[in-house]
Amino acid sequence: CKLVLTTDVNSDTILKIDFEFQDKETSKKITIPFYDFDDDRIKQISAYQDHMFAKKWLKIIQDSI
């Protein structure tokens, strides 16, 4: 399992967190989205709050792996 971060080009703002797995038999990479800034459908979270939320989840995931 590997964490793949997508960040904003002009800053270190985390826009997306994906889990990446590799199938043992086929070596095919399987990507499972975990967090996506664009998924804020109700648009109630500011960009800064969203970035802080992503950093919190990133730490939780890294501490668990």
Which whole number is the average pLDDT over 36-62?
72
Of 11, 58, 59, 8, nearest in space to 38 by CA: 8
What pLDDT is stored for residue 26 in this prediction?
Answer: 94
Position 17 pLDDT exceeds 80: yes
List the helix and strand counts (H, then E) for the chain: 1, 3
Within 13 Å and on the Cβ side, how many CA atoms surround 5? 14
**All residues at 6 or more sequence positions from 51 whose CB lies less than 8 Å from its CB, including other chains:** 13, 14
Of 40, 30, 37, nearest in space to 14 by CA: 37
What pLDDT is stored for residue 63 in this prediction?
Answer: 83
